[in-house]
A and B are shown apart, each in its own frame.
Chain A
Amino acid sequence: MADHITSKLNPDTHLILDQSLIRLPFELLRKNFKAAHFNVEKESTSVKATLKETTQASLNNASPDEIIKNVDLMLARMRGLKRKLNACAEEEARLHQQLQSRVRHLGELYGMQSLDDVKYEEWSRTRLDRLLVDYLLRYGYKDSAQALSKEKGIRDLVDVETFVQMSRIRESLRNARVTEALSWCSENKKELRRLESNFEFMLRFQQYIELVRTQNQTKLLESIAHAKKYLLPFKDSYPKEVQQACGLLAFPPGTRAAAYGELYSQSRWTTLANLFMQTHNRLLALPSVPLLHVALSAGLSALKTPSCHSLHISSISPTSASSITTSVCPICSTELNDLARNVPYAHHTKSHVESDLVLLPNGCVYGRHRLEEYSRKAGLSPDKFKDLRDGKVFPANEVKKVYIS
């Protein structure tokens, strides 16, 4: 049976919440490389072709001005390519730097021996700050996230840019605008196809719905063209949606047909925004929920005991501190108490109580040593005990010994 107290730290299994920390920059690095590659491919083909054509033309007596114009064109393309590549190289350098800081940060954990290590506490605090920034960014609180990462000096350990970009697109979707999302789709066309994502289709579908919503003659015609171009090609992948799209023309907004009424609902934008978030996170191998949720769900359960939401004011285990007065349990503390109500409590197979327990006549049980200490400090004579909870005083000879097996 596993012991219920441990201070062992196993870095290999401990790094679970930190996966995206070094995965995301790598994904971005790959994306950056793909962008560079794409640009080189595009420009090289075009420049090579132009060069060939121009040479050919020069042989066929093209005017020198024409030739120079073409050479200038090639130069412009190459300069553009250089600019783009330079940008990619800068981004790459930034990502390398970021990865280095992150790998170093995670590597620090391997130098620690136990969970009681002071360095671990410091490390864990930085981790909490990372989790907080991640949470803040996912909820779109970007100023707070920036302020926190700046104050703590953990800019290299958090992904502000990625998430700010994401929330911008998400916000635009919530405000019923598709432009940003569509351009994001075209940026990530290949990857989205690989994921078999339906996001772009759903965007196009929504565009179509908006066209039909107007009930304006030209817009309706436009909607049919739109459907032909963007929706019908997918009739095998999304038969239901395509059928609905076709049927929608017969049902103007305000229809009583529930299935079509739903399509006109504004809540579809929220759904789209959520779909975007899912797709985005999947694309970058980011966890679908804030890491803070994952950490807290597990942590609250691990810490929670039946006493945390008990009616009795629970006595506090003296193991947590050397003095008789102890700090409040984090689950009992105001911050987390309500939050912990919904999570299961920790499983224990062994009792964990003070040694040498005694029972006071009112039913409360304490360790004898602690009770004596407390009573002495309360200025009582040694033959009296004072209850730590309600302060009632009892004669020492009325206590009974309790045996916990």
Chain B
Amino acid sequence: MDVLQDELAKLHGNANLSQSVQDVEKIIEQLERARESIVAGKSDSVFYIRNGGVCETLRGKEGVGIFGQFIHTDVFPDPSSASITLAKIQNPIKSGFEKVNDDLKKVHKGQSVYGRALDKNFPVKALPTEYDALASHPSLINRAIAMHLLREGQFSVASTFLDEAQDNPPHPIPTPGSPRPADSDSTDFTSLRSQELQVKFSNMYQILHELKAHNLHPAITWARGNSIELEKRGSNLEFELSKLQFVWLFQGPEVNGLPADSNNGLEGALKYARQHFGRFQGRFLRDIQQLATAMAYKSNLRSSPYYRTFDTETAWDDVSSSFTREFCSLLGLSAESPLYIAATAGAIALPTLLKLASIVKEKRTEWTTQNELPVEIALPKSMIFHAIFVCPVSKEQTTDSNPPMMMPCGHVVAKESLQRLSKGGRFKCPYCPGESHPKDARQIIL
């Protein structure tokens, strides 16, 4: 890329059209000067026309080429200022145009040098465009984009987009991958539905904004309002928020900058704990005990065993991200924009897929697995979301129709492998000496 940058700088510095503009300007100047002198000579020329005979003989004898000489030698008075002026600028203008052409050649050369550098450092790779499963579902993509914009807080762009998409609904294009464009695609991602989402997300951004300003109250109110769902998810967000509030108050006005009254500092924290921690006693008794004991160490907290609990360095970012996660989860959405993750994963997967395509083309084979990609694509750890079970016998991933089965010995194989191994009778586990009957194996959900 550095090479390209250098080449580009060269292109920008040396091979541009500004020189040719200047040279064209020079030609214009010459023409203008010529015009002036012709206009100036116009009164004289009347004389020459009257004495046409002289000119005639001159011309007949000497020809055009000699005129320059007349001027230099100054033998005759200007016979026809116009024709001399014109003759005089013939060559300069011609060379002027040559100059312009040279300028252009230089630009052209610079561009081809850059083009070669581009080809060398950035060779063209064909995109796998022949298979496009998405062209038949533009309305679904539109919906995904609208939701992406909303969740990223780009409300004005989102509403522009919704209006435009409403006015010009996309035309689904059938593809070989999915021959019939789904008519059932819900195109009803109407403004009503999006408004609802927008309200929710603007609420989320509001709360996040407050969190950034170290104000926990809106977040706590939200968490309390949704405490049942949160608990079902095994989330302790509400308690984490309350705990942070306690810690925040505990640190007193020097740290939190809140007014130094009875609602702040140790006193305020205690008051807060009395008021709010009661409801958490069942689930978080240990944490509450810790917080309470820590109060005794108020004066030398830094050297106390509770120092970690009171370290708010990262705590704010942590609660912000877990708040975002829980908020989106309750809406049935992932915390990160799926569009972002999918596009990134796509960019990571493409080199492998392109390599595969080239091999397939070279070997003139085709892959027949319709449901599964033919190659493994390595993704960063953060992009693996589900437990994946690959049957150790058949090396296939388990699916709804071919679920994982656990034998009494605790080893797991896919259902189809189990049937093939056992042939209906007792069989030995392929991984241990344990023998069992297929009916003893049970389906598990990973």
Q: Is A183 located at the chain interface by the 8 A CB criterion?
A: no
With A22-B122, A289-B135, A328-B335 as known contacts, state yes or no: A334 contacts B147, CB within 8 Å: yes
State whether A64 touches B38 (Cβ < 8 A): yes
Q: Select from chain B the residue with minimum beta-carbon distance to A144.
A: B161
Q: Select from chain B the residue with minimum beta-carbon distance to A314.
A: B386
State whether A307 touches B386 (Cβ < 8 A): yes
With A302-B346, A374-B234 as known contacts, state yes or no: A103 contacts B1, CB within 8 Å: yes
With A36-B17, A338-B140 as known contacts, state yes or no: A303 contacts B125, CB within 8 Å: no
Instruction: Give B319-334 as 1s and 0s: 1 = Cβ < 8 Å from A's Cβ atoms.
Output: 0001001101100111
State whether A82 touches B24 (Cβ < 8 A): yes
State whether B378 touches A324 (Cβ < 8 A): no
State whether B1 touches A320 (Cβ < 8 A): no
Instruction: Give A113-152 as 1s and 0s: 1 = Cβ < 8 Å from B's Cβ atoms.
Output: 0011000000011011001100110011101100110010
Q: Is A293 located at the chain interface by the 8 A CB criterion?
A: yes
Contacting residues of chain A (35-85) with chain B, CB-CB under 8 angstroms: 36-37, 40, 44, 47-48, 51-52, 54-55, 58-59, 61, 64, 67-68, 71-72, 74-75, 78-79, 81-82, 85
Alpha-carbon distance A72/B369, docked complex (angstroms): 74
State whether B5 touches A299 (Cβ < 8 A): no
Taking CB atoms, residues of chain B closer than 8 Å to A403 are 409-412, 431
State whether B118 touches A303 (Cβ < 8 A): no
Taking CB atoms, residues of chain A closer than 8 Å to B55 are 61
Instruction: Give A290-324 as 1s and 0s: 1 = Cβ < 8 Å from B's Cβ atoms.
Output: 01111111111111011110111011110111011
4 smallest CB-CB distances across A and B, nearest first, come from A299-B346, A330-B338, A329-B385, A58-B83
State whether B111 touches A29 (Cβ < 8 A): yes
State whether A297 touches B346 (Cβ < 8 A): yes
Alpha-carbon distance A103/B8, docked complex (angstroms): 9
Alpha-carbon distance A269/B333, docked complex (angstroms): 41
Q: Is B170 located at the chain interface by the 8 A CB criterion?
A: yes
Q: Is B424 located at the chain interface by the 8 A CB criterion?
A: no
Q: Is A19 located at the chain interface by the 8 A CB criterion?
A: yes
Taking CB atoms, residues of chain B closer than 8 Å to A325 are 233-235, 325-326, 329
Alpha-carbon distance A347/B133, docked complex (angstroms): 18
Q: Is A257 located at the chain interface by the 8 A CB criterion?
A: no
Partner of A132, one of B125, B145, B388: B145
Taking CB atoms, residues of chain B closer than 8 Å to A151 are 154, 156-157
Q: Is B256 located at the chain interface by the 8 A CB criterion?
A: no
* 10 A–B contacts, CB within 8 A, in A order: A6-B378, A44-B97, A58-B80, A147-B157, A299-B347, A323-B322, A325-B326, A346-B376, A349-B376, A404-B389
Contacting residues of chain A (175-215) with chain B, CB-CB under 8 angstroms: none
Contacting residues of chain A (351-405) with chain B, CB-CB under 8 angstroms: 351-354, 359, 363-365, 374, 377-379, 388-389, 391, 400-405
State whether A351 touches B390 (Cβ < 8 A): yes
Taking CB atoms, residues of chain B closer than 8 Å to A82 are 21, 24-25, 28
State whether A347 touches B374 (Cβ < 8 A): yes
Identify 4 new A-B residue pairs, CB closer than 8 A, beyond the known A127-B344, A338-B137.
A89-B16, A96-B11, A301-B377, A302-B379
State whether B138 touches A139 (Cβ < 8 A): yes
Q: Is B129 located at the chain interface by the 8 A CB criterion?
A: yes
With A100-B12, A128-B344 as known contacts, state yes or no: A328 contacts B127, CB within 8 Å: no
Q: Interface range on chain A: under 10, 10 to 19, 20 to 34, or 35 or more?
A: 35 or more
State whether B351 touches A347 (Cβ < 8 A): no
With A85-B20, A316-B385, A328-B334 as known contacts, state yes or no: A15 contacts B122, CB within 8 Å: yes
Partner of B31, one of A4, A75, A327, A401: A75
Alpha-carbon distance A295/B345, docked complex (angstroms): 8
Alpha-carbon distance A333/B387, docked complex (angstroms): 16
State whether A345 touches B333 (Cβ < 8 A): no
Taking CB atoms, residues of chain B closer than 8 Å to A1 are 376
Alpha-carbon distance A78/B89, docked complex (angstroms): 15
State whether A298 touches B86 (Cβ < 8 A): no
State whether B157 touches A55 (Cβ < 8 A): no
Taking CB atoms, residues of chain B closer than 8 Å to A404 are 389, 412
State whether B129 touches A287 (Cβ < 8 A): yes
Taking CB atoms, residues of chain A closer than 8 Å to B25 are 82
Among B100-108, B217-225, B291-299, B306-314, the one that faces the other chain is B100-108
Among B202-210, B242-250, B397-405, the one that faces the other chain is B397-405
Alpha-carbon distance A1/B376, docked complex (angstroms): 9
Q: Select from chain A the residue with minimum beta-carbon distance to B112.
A: A30
State whether B347 touches A37 (Cβ < 8 A): no
**What is the CB-to-nearest-CB distance from A245 to chain B, in angstroms, rounded to a whole number?**
28
State whether A344 touches B373 (Cβ < 8 A): yes
Q: Is B350 located at the chain interface by the 8 A CB criterion?
A: yes
With A140-B168, A403-B431 as known contacts, state yes or no: A107 contacts B115, CB within 8 Å: no
Partner of B386, one of A29, A136, A316: A316
Q: Is A256 located at the chain interface by the 8 A CB criterion?
A: no
Taking CB atoms, residues of chain A closer than 8 Å to B283 are 377-379
State whether A308 touches B386 (Cβ < 8 A): yes
Q: Is A7 located at the chain interface by the 8 A CB criterion?
A: yes
State whether A299 touches B341 (Cβ < 8 A): yes
**What is the CB-to-nearest-CB distance from B112 to chain A, in angstroms, rounded to a whole number?**
9
State whether B234 touches A388 (Cβ < 8 A): yes
Partner of A306, one of B140, B177, B398: B398
Taking CB atoms, residues of chain A closer than 8 Å to B2 are 107, 110
Alpha-carbon distance A126/B231, docked complex (angstroms): 36
Instruction: Give A152-189 as 1s and 0s: 1 = Cβ < 8 Å from B's Cβ atoms.
Output: 00000000000000000000000000000000000000
